[in-house]
Amino acid sequence: MEYIFERKINYYETDKMGVVHHSNYIRYLEEARCELLNSIGMPFALLEEKGITIPVLGVNCEYKHHVTFDDVIVIKVSMKEYTGVRITMQYNVIEKKTGETVLLAQTKHCFTNKELRPINLKKYEPEFNKKLEKLL
């Protein structure tokens, strides 16, 4: 399943050259990932209420094109891998007006309890596991 997230670029996210600073893309990916989880009934507030955190293990970004203030980006996010303990998300960020690919990325995460010890959602929270398996 691919989830589509749209976002308008704010002025404060640009650098002296008027281009979105590369570090902001990590935030955009997180926004898209959070909205995907919201859409399947797994908002972060509920995850935290159940004692589940999803720390980032790694980020890989390939910058293809720049965007500037007032541009609208479309982030297509999908789950690439899921084991119950680890999850890998992939992203394709596109400039809406031109259709040009701006960024290709992947983020890797694991599920942990409040003590930051890895957990297996298949056992820890079977309902969340079912929702995530449907994304594959």
Residue 135 lies inside a defined structural domain of this protein: no
pLDDT for 86 equals: 98
| Span 96-116, pLDDT tens digits | 999 999 999 999 999 999 999
Residue 13 in domain: yes
Total domains in the fold of the chain: 1
Out of 2, 15, 48, 133, the active site residue is: 15
Single pTM value for the model: 0.94
64 in a domain, yes or no?
A: yes
Active-site residue, 15 included: yes
In a domain, 51, yes or no: yes
**How far is CA 95 from each of CA 2, 21, 24, rounded to the nearest angstrom?**
17, 15, 15
Residue 120 structural domain? 2-127
pLDDT of residue 67: 98
- Any domain includes 115: yes
* Domain CATH number, residue 13: 3.10.129.10
Q: Confirm whether 134 is domain-assigned.
A: no
Q: Is 18 part of any domain?
A: yes
- 97, HSE (Cβ side, Cα atoms, 13 Å): 8
Whether 68 is covered by a domain: the verdict is yes
Question: Which parts of the chain sit beneath pLDDT 50?
Answer: none
